[in-house]
Structure 1
Amino acid sequence: MKIFAYIPTKIHTILILFGSMVICSNLTGQIEHQKKNRKYDFSAIEKKIQAWVVNGYYSGASILITKNDAVIYQKYFGNYNKETQVFIASAGKWLAAATIAAVVEKTTLSWDDKVKKWLPEFQDAKGEATLRQLFSHTSGFPDYQPKDSVTDNYQTLEESVKHIVNLPADSQPGTAFHYGGLAMQVAGRMAELATGKDFETIFQENIAMPLGMKNTHFVPVDNGGGHSPMLGGGAKSTLYDYAHFLEMISHDGNYKGNQILKKESVAEMQADQIRNANVASHEYTEQVRAEKQNGIYGLGEWREEVDAKGNAILISSPSWAGAYPWIDKTTQTYGFFLTHVNVEKANKAGFSSFYNSPVLPIMVRDVYKNAALPKNVKTGFVNVGNAKLYYEESGTGEPLIFIHGHSFDHSEWDPQFFEFAKKYRTVRYDCRGYGHSDMPKEGVEFLHAEDLLKLMNKLKIKKAHLVGLSMGGFIATDFLALHQDRLLSATMASGDIFPVPGPSQPWTTEQFTIRKAEIEKIIKRGTMYQKWDWLNGLMSKGGTNLEKIRKPVWDMIFKWNQWQPLHAEPRLVLGNDAEAILKKQKITVPVMVLTGEVEKERPNKLLECVPSAKQVIVSNAGHVSNLENPEDFNRLVMEFLKNN
């Protein structure tokens, strides 16, 4: 089995160049169907999961999402149905932690008990670890059994502990965070000794039965009957069973009027249990949430996001197999994505189920945000021939169209869209291959600029102001070269002549061979690497606000389906062809090139091709100037439009 360990590295020069192209109280009861509740549109999530299944990463999947205690979305994919039961791997850690919490409530076992109190055979540093450290990956126990150890087959936790007791400690208890599962076996054995019962019985009596989780068990992981019970990855469950558990946790331990766990126990599970332990760079939460914070883990659950006071606001228990339960307190939603990865097909495609599933709560936030759009914002799709483009429109007056950067989508313009809609008929859209719009097809030629022209025609816009950033700036440049008569003005932020072959230079056999080799390299390394490298490249230089935009930039990149780096894409921009076209005509349309202050020394060929163009500097900003310094960006664009 291949496990991808994704650690961002320095982005390659050509990537930087290409990169400038650049959110239940009654689960078995009523469901708010789309026909009854049109404000929630889960089509983007549905397309994302369906693509994973079609690509063979999963044979099937199911998902359930609730908001304010009502199921707002439920869907089955592939060969999954309501009864499908699968191993949920590390998603079982959350269940195991709750089971231990119940034992702590009802017996003399304490989260601060040391291992040696219950298991005196642990005479080394491991015996000094506490129960809470065992369940927060800070115990100093080795993460997994060494490869050269005896086969770790067992039928009881007593047997399992015998395989662990003589293993050397990795570190002193409480000094370092190391994600793994062996320490949880010891914790489970302590619970057994405290109750006099086996772990499965403890789980059934305290969690599964009270929650009606009839199809959830800690059962043998291997066909031969080994590895039972495995607290850190050996649970098997169904969609609704696990959703019952999430309902209980989201209600501070209460399930349909019955207090399954004390409120204090749930709070303890969600509290920062890392404390003073060292957390290495590029740990899971930093990778999927683009924010570095030390309090990343509670008891059996990840604290993916925390608020200013350190309270967990997004908690989860992701698994290598793809199963992903979460609770998002920012939107009062919780959800469970049930699936089990096809390891061979996923590895062949460089797909990581562990790192891809966490995009789902971010997409749910988008659903929530879109549902809250003002009534005066029109949304829809425009057919541009062989693809549909998503757009949003608001305001009246002269038309103004925002064009996003590579790997981004229309949400890039959140700081501008509503502000400019006060004075202009403002449109923002997703280019083909991004956001909600359709994907390109390898070998099918088109130009982004021609897609834009068709969008304008369908929206009955004769002339418009264009404002594009990075890739959006290149598209604005192409439109200026091809359709100057349809423009009122053009603003290219971080824009230039994109130095790549244009339509006049079709792909050669040699170029295709090179491109295919590049794609294979991305896949072999793991496709998430490319996203992390891309983010680091965009965040490598900027003003004092750069780190504040890391997360919103990452959220867009995280949702991006990565079609472009994984295909030999058509000539979508004029590239080098634009230079000759621009120089052959007299440009009379007002043109502004907005450049972030840290990039002001970079040569700009567009300014040479359009002598009348005006370069303006956005202070305290780098490549993504509209997000880094939106106040200055908006002011400069407003002044440009007013004066022209």
Structure 2
Amino acid sequence: MKVFVNTYFRFYVILILCGLTMGCSNLSKQTQQRKKNSGYDFSDVEHKIQTWVDSSYYSGASIIIVKNDTVVYENIFGNYNKDTQVFIASAGKWLAAATIASVVEKTSLSWDDKVKKWLPEFKDVKGEATLRQLFSHTSGFPDYQPKDSVTDNYQTLEESVKHIVNLPADAQPGTSFHYGGLAMQVAGRMAELATGKDFETIFQENIAMPLGMKNTHFVPVDNSGGHSPMLGGGAKSTLYDYAHFLEMISHDGNYKGKQILKKESVAAMQTDQVGNAKIVDPEYAKKVRAENHNGVYGLGEWREELDAIGNAVLISSPSWAGAYPWIDKTTNTYGFFLTHVNVENANKAGFSSFYNSPVLPIMVRDVYKNKALPKEVKTGFINVGGAKLYYEELGKGEPLIFIHGHSFDHSEWDPQFFEFAKKYRVIRYDCRGYGYSDKPKENLAFLHADDLLKLMNKLKIKRAHLVGLSMGGFIATDFLALHQNRLLSVTAASGDIFPVSGPSEPWTKEQLAVRRAEIEKVKQKGTMNQKWNWLNALMRNGGTNLEGIRRVVWDMIYKWDQWQPLHAEPRLVLGNDAVSILKKQKITVPVMVLTAEADKNRVNQLLACVPTAVQVLVPNAGHVSNLENPVDFNRLVIEFLKNK
């Protein structure tokens, strides 16, 4: 997606700081009451938003989530109230597209009309662009006014267009997708000419008033007496106003029995309008959904996710300021997160609302997923001293504990949890600093292996099988070195001795200074970049199903709050200290090093430390082998446990 060079994005370095901790004891009475009323537990969503507000990225916020036409969650944060009116930036593109659609329905204006038909002063290639292209970022118009030009804050759209007509085109119409907003000003003027009314009046008469959106306007955009409506980013709205709009769109243009827009118009807005246009820069949908498809945009809205036949199932209109409306057809849900970013604070921390807010639909899906867990699944939190760890438990038999990888959470083990619970008492949990568990503290030393021991004690588990992947494998190795008597077996998948300093080498002042500088570099470059780079590293090598797991891996990384790269992390694993500890004792516990076929040539130090360990290859798989090839992964672990 092209960066907003001269308007908004120059203020931002990308950061997602996702507070994913969730402790039942900390839930407010209001949260518990909402959970009781709806049957869903949105405390994780609530904690995330509250963390953003507490970090001063927003002075306040509000959110509403509706499933099957029933409000399942709504809340107010900070200094907002239910009627707070906010500039919603690009979230207004969806409203503007609906307004244009209403004009197309009622006048001679057509989505396929060329600009020059209504504005003959556009005599160059820009005049060949269609209304459809103006609203799908494929018109070839420049995205924004040049940096050294006047800003687009005129009194009328007519005046605004006069400052666009002589700008050079960036591309031939229909050949290139560049996300921007300037072309929408021209579309708005075409609608004005088709109706003989100004755009704000068109919006009020056709959209706002029929939907009861009394507090939503495109003008005035400030207190200067009114500007030309900025279709691509100048609307103001409230939580419930925009929710009315989403209700109408989610019902194919019908609002409480009245057809506001034709079903065909809503369908056109949601249909791929990019076509064969070249997407020059990595676009929004690819970055937030790890989805590699060309049909990313309709009319005024992003097509974030597509089904198997190319229909949009998750649509949105995200804004740089944080306001984020969405419709999720996979769960029959629509929602609106209303807020406006504090530019100074966000810039200092490198926080990007544009790439941050879209994590919310994924978290909402998790809420539904948790609600749908079989009643036999036991869930809860274990206090391990200084933190609470979230866990899930299912099945009977010998205990088997799954330990997830770095940046992941307990959901990594979905292909294993229910399968192994047919024979074992299976526990999966979120390590401290991941998933629903509490975050660490820089000045509080502990080991993940010690947390695991406390979890086992609280669950009255004397001995257990451990299965860990990557970081989970390091933790399993640490546990083997420290608590062999509590083990039945160890499977270290993509695991090894983690080659870092252990607790025997605490941070020095010099090392801490270097670490602080590294953290600042992460913020300057944007921690979202760190997430994308981490995803790409995990997806670099693998089998034939590698791309098939990109999305599920990304969703875990996207939700991850990145505490680790943003702090001077305590020594949480033994690292190099494990080598001497393991070599000083005789390991009698069965150990399997489960190596992905793509990593078979890597030297594994754990095998040297534990001579009795066996190495087994997971065929057709890379680092995240339990997800990429769960059939063979499960088979190999089951065979190992049988023969232990």
Match of 2:4 in 1: none
- Cα deviations by residue, 1:204-257 (Å, 9 ceiling, x for unpaired): 000000000000000233554564310000100000000000000000000000
Match of 1:284 in 2: 284
Match of 2:577 in 1: 577
- Cα deviations by residue, 1:118-169 (Å, 9 ceiling, x for unpaired): 0000000000000000000000000000011134331110011001001010
Aligned-partner Cα distance in 2 for 1:118–1:5: 38
Aligned AA for 2:211?
L
Q: CA deviation at 1:406?
A: 0.2
Aligned-partner Cα distance in 2 for 1:163–1:141: 13
The two structures have a TM-score, normalised by structure 2, of 0.95
Match of 2:308 in 1: 308
1:133-148 alignment to 2 at 5 Å?
A: 133-148=133-148
Task: Identify which of 10, 13, 22 aligns with 1:3.
Answer: 10
- Answer yes or no: is 1:92 the counterpart of 2:99: no
Match of 2:411 in 1: 411
Secondary structure of the structure 1 residue equivalent to 2:65: strand
User: Gapped runs of 5+ residues in structure 1?
Assistant: 9-30
Comparing 346-355 and 219-228, the one that deviates more: 219-228
Answer whether contact 1:515 1:568 (CA < 8 A) is retained.
yes
Aligned-partner Cα distance in 2 for 1:231–1:281: 23
Secondary structure of the structure 2 residue equivalent to 1:72: strand
Aligned-partner Cα distance in 1 for 2:187–2:160: 11
Match of 2:364 in 1: 364
Aligned-partner Cα distance in 1 for 2:296–2:36: 39
Aligned-partner Cα distance in 2 for 1:595–1:581: 23
Aligned-partner Cα distance in 2 for 1:147–1:610: 63
- Answer yes or no: is 1:173 the counterpart of 2:173: yes
Answer whether contact 2:11 2:343 (CA < 8 A) is retained.
no
Answer whether contact 1:448 1:573 (CA < 8 A) is retained.
yes
Answer whether contact 1:32 1:70 (CA < 8 A) is retained.
no
Secondary structure of the structure 1 residue equivalent to 2:498: coil
Match of 2:38 in 1: 37
Aligned AA for 1:236?
K
- Cα deviations by residue, 1:473-521 (Å, 9 ceiling, x for unpaired): 0000000000001000000000000010000000001100110000000
Q: CA deviation at 1:356?
A: 0.5
Aligned-partner Cα distance in 2 for 1:355–1:191: 31
- Cα deviations by residue, 1:270-312 (Å, 9 ceiling, x for unpaired): 0000011111242111000001100000000000000111100
Match of 1:164 in 2: 164
Aligned-partner Cα distance in 1 for 2:281–2:370: 34
Judged with a 3 Å threshold, the aligned counterparts in structure 2 of structure 1 residues 4 and 522 are, in CA distance, closer, same or farther, namely farther
Judged with a 3 Å threshold, the aligned counterparts in structure 2 of structure 1 residues 643 and 4 are, in CA distance, closer, same or farther, namely farther
- Answer yes or no: is 1:238 the counterpart of 2:241: no
Match of 1:643 in 2: 643
Q: CA deviation at 1:7?
A: 10
Aligned-partner Cα distance in 2 for 1:514–1:32: 47
Match of 2:343 in 1: 343
Secondary structure of the structure 2 residue equivalent to 1:3: helix
Aligned-partner Cα distance in 2 for 1:315–1:486: 49
Answer whether contact 2:456 2:462 (CA < 8 A) is retained.
yes
Match of 2:517 in 1: 517
Aligned AA for 1:616?
V
1:506-585 alignment to 2 at 5 Å?
A: 506-585=506-585
Aligned-partner Cα distance in 1 for 2:556–2:9: 27
Aligned-partner Cα distance in 2 for 1:552–1:238: 33
Aligned-partner Cα distance in 2 for 1:150–1:333: 41
Aligned-partner Cα distance in 2 for 1:57–1:327: 25
Count of residues in Structure 1 that have an aligned counterpart in Structure 2: 621
Comparing 150-159 and 632-641, the one that deviates more: 150-159
Aligned-partner Cα distance in 1 for 2:540–2:222: 46
Match of 1:441 in 2: 441
Judged with a 3 Å threshold, the aligned counterparts in structure 2 of structure 1 residues 384 and 32 are, in CA distance, closer, same or farther, namely closer
Secondary structure of the structure 1 residue equivalent to 2:60: strand
Answer whether contact 2:271 2:312 (CA < 8 A) is retained.
yes
Aligned-partner Cα distance in 2 for 1:5–1:545: 35
Q: CA deviation at 1:343?
A: 0.9
Aligned-partner Cα distance in 1 for 2:610–2:13: 43
- Cα deviations by residue, 1:588-611 (Å, 9 ceiling, x for unpaired): 100000000010110111000000
Match of 1:131 in 2: 131
Judged with a 3 Å threshold, the aligned counterparts in structure 2 of structure 1 residues 5 and 50 are, in CA distance, closer, same or farther, namely closer
- Answer yes or no: is 1:334 the counterpart of 2:339: no
Secondary structure of the structure 1 residue equivalent to 2:112: coil
Q: CA deviation at 1:437?
A: 0.3
Aligned AA for 2:275?
R
Answer whether contact 2:14 2:351 (CA < 8 A) is retained.
no
Aligned AA for 1:152?
D
Aligned-partner Cα distance in 1 for 2:281–2:141: 20
Match of 1:427 in 2: 427
Answer whether contact 2:14 2:528 (CA < 8 A) is retained.
no
Answer whether contact 1:404 1:468 (CA < 8 A) is retained.
yes
- Answer yes or no: is 1:619 the counterpart of 2:619: yes
Aligned-partner Cα distance in 2 for 1:347–1:419: 46
Match of 2:275 in 1: 275
Aligned AA for 2:10?
I
Answer whether contact 2:87 2:236 (CA < 8 A) is retained.
yes
Match of 2:74 in 1: 74
Match of 1:502 in 2: 502
Match of 1:209 in 2: 209
The two structures have a TM-score, normalised by structure 1, of 0.95
User: Gapped runs of 5+ residues in structure 2?
Assistant: 1-7, 16-31
Match of 1:18 in 2: none
Aligned-partner Cα distance in 1 for 2:541–2:232: 40
Secondary structure of the structure 1 residue equivalent to 2:264: helix
Aligned AA for 1:34?
K
Aligned-partner Cα distance in 2 for 1:36–1:349: 37
Aligned-partner Cα distance in 1 for 2:486–2:162: 77
